[in-house]
C-alpha cells in the first residue's frame, strides 16, 4: 500500500484552531504505567488528558530497551532508575521495538480534525547513546552477518560527541516516533513502519522548532512519543541512529475541521514533502509528486512550473531505508517565496 505525505503548512494554517483555555504545562514522567511498548492502538487508555494549547514535557526510553546499552558497556550505576523500572515491569511488548510514552488524550480532538504538535526544547536523560547493527538488518545485511555495538559518551550539556579520535559529530536530538492512534477498525499496528498515523518517521529534520501535523482518527487523538535519537544521518543505514533517552516539550493544539490524509510538518526554514513506500524509487516519485501538488495548491503554480521548480530548488533526501516502508523527503526552502 502506498503511503504518501505532503508536508506544508498553508492549508493547515487556514483551518480553525480550538480556542485554548489558560494553557498549562504537564509532566509525563517515564514510569511503567505511562509506557506501551512496540505498537499503536486505539484501544489504549490515555495516561494523561490535556486541552488544546497545553504543553507536555514527555520523557522517553531508548528504543529496544536496556540490553544494547548493557552489552555496549554502560554500567548499572549509569542507567537511570526510571529506565530500569520500565524494563522490568512492562511485559507486553511488540511487534515493534519502541517503548512509547502515552497515549495523551487531547480534549476536543475528533476524527476529521488535525493535531498540531509544536516541538520545543529537547534534553537528554543520560549522556550516552548507542549505535548498532545486527545480522539481517540495515542496508548491507550480507556484508555484515554479525552484530556490533558502539557506545558514544559526551559531557552533560555538550553539543558534540567524539566518534573516535579525530572524528567528532554534532548532537542533534529528535524523536524518531511521534504518532496518533489508528482507527479502531485497524486494530493494533507495529511501531516500526511509518504511515498515515505518523509514527516511526525517523526524519532527522523534526528537531526543536519544527511543527508536525497529524490527522486525528479517534476521539482525543491518543498521541504517543518515543524512539529518542541523539543524531542520525539520512538513511539510518545500520538500522539505528544514536539511540538514547530524551525529554521533550510539546505544545499541542487542535485544528478543528481540517481533515488530513497524511501527516504534514514544517521546519523554520523549509517545506518538506515525503514519499513512503517499500520501493525507494516509488518513494522518490511520491515525494516529488507531493511537492508538485503542494506548489500547485498552495502557491498557485501550474503543474509544469511546479515540476521545473522542484528540479531547480528542491532537494531529495533519503529519510530512512530500514523500516520496511522506506522514506524519501523533498525539501524546499521557504526563503524562495517573497512575502505578499
- Averaged pLDDT of the chain: 92
Q: Specify the pLDDT at position 88.
A: 98
Average pLDDT score over residue span 253-277:
88
Burial class (CB in 10 A: 0-12, 13-18, 19+), 328: buried
**pLDDT tens, position by position, 85-101:** 999 999 999 899 999 99
Average pLDDT score over residue span 183-212:
94
**pLDDT tens, position by position, 21-61:** 688 999 999 999 999 999 999 999 999 999 999 999 999 99
Name the pLDDT band for 6 (thresholds 50, 70, 90): very low
Name the pLDDT band for 2 (thresholds 50, 70, 90): very low
**pLDDT tens, position by position, 158-175:** 999 999 999 999 999 999
| DSSP collapsed to 3 states, the chain | CCEEEECCCHHHHHCEECCCCCCCEEEECCCHHHEEECEECCCCCCCEEEECCCEEEEECCCCCCCHHHHHHCCCHHHCCHHHHHHHHHCCCECCCCCEEEEEEEEECCCCCCEEEEEEEEEEECCCEEEEEECCCCCCCCCCCCCCEEEEEECCCCCCEEEEECCEEEECCCEEEEEECCCCHHHCCEECCCCECCEECCCCCCCCCCCEEEEECCCCCCCEEEEEEECCCCCECCCCCCCECCEEEEEEEEEEECCCCCCCEEECCCEEEEEEEECCHHHHHHHHHHHHHHHHHHHCCCCHHHHHHHHHHHCEEEEEECCCCCEEEEEEEEHHHCCCC
Give the predicted TM-score (pTM) of the model: 0.92
Name the pLDDT band for 8 (thresholds 50, 70, 90): very low
Name the pLDDT band for 4 (thresholds 50, 70, 90): very low
Q: Specify the pLDDT at position 297.
A: 81
> Is the pLDDT assigned to residue 15 strictly greater than 70?
no
Which structural domains are found in the chain, ordered by start? Answer: 12-263 (2.60.120.580), 266-336 (3.10.28.20)
Amino acid at each position: 500500500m502506498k503511503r504518501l505525505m505532503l508536508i506544508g503548512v498553508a492549508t493547515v494554517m487556514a483551518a480553525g484552531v480550538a480556542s485554548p483555555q489558560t494553557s498549562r504545562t504537564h509532566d509525563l514522567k517515564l514510569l511503567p504505567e505511562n509506557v506501551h511498548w512496540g505498537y499503536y492502538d486505539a484501544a489504549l487508555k490515555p495516561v494523561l488528558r490535556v486541552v488544546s494549547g497545553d504543553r507536555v514535557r514527555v520523557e522517553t526510553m531508548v528504543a529496544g530497551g536496556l540490553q544494547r546499552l548493557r552489552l555496549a558497556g554502560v554500567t548499572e550505576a549509569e542507567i537511570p532508575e526510571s529506565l530500569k523500572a520500565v524494563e522490568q515491569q512492562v511485559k507486553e511488548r511488540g511487534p515493534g521495538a519502541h517503548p512509547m510514552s502515552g497515549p495523551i488524550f487531547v480534549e476536543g480532538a475528533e476524527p476529521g480534525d488535525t493535531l498540531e504538535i509544536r516541538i520545543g526544547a529537547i534534553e537528554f536523560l543520560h549522556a550516552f547513546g548507542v549505535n548498532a547493527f545486527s545480522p539481517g538488518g540495515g542496508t548491507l545485511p550480507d556484508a555484515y552477518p554479525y552484530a556490533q555495538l558502539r557506545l558514544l559518551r559526551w559531557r552533560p550539556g555538550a553539543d558534540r560527541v567524539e566518534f573516535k579520535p579525530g572524528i567528532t559529530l554534532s548532537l542533534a536530538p529528535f524523536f524518531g516516533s511521534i504518532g496518533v492512534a489508528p482507527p479502531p477498525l485497524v486494530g493494533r499496528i507495529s511501531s516500526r513502519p511509518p504511515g498515515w498515523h505518523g509514527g516511526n518517521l525517523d526524519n532527522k529534520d523534526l528537531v526543536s522548532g519544527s511543527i508536525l501535523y497529524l490527522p486525528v482518527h479517534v476521539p482525543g487523538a491518543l498521541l504517543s512519543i518515543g524512539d529518542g535519537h541523539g543524531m542520525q544521518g539520512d538513511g539510518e543505514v545500520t538500522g539505528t541512529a544514536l539511540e538514547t533517552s530524551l525529554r521533550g516539550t510539546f505544545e499541542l493544539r487542535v485544528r478543528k475541521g481540517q481533515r488530513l490524509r497524511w501527516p504534514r510538518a514544517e521546519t523554520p526554514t523549509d517545506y518538506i514533502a515525503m514519499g513512503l513506500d517499500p520501493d525507494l524509487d516509488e518513494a522518490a516519485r511520491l515525494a516529488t509528486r507531493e511537492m508538485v501538488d503542494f506548489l500547485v495548491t498552495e502557491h498557485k503554480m501550474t503543474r509544469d512550473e511546479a515540476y521545473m521548480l522542484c528540479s531547480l530548488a528542491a532537494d531529495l533526501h533519503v529519510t530512512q531505508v530500514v523500516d520496511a516502508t522506506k522514506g524519501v523527503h523533498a525539501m524546499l526552502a521557504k526563503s524562495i517565496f517573497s512575502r505578499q
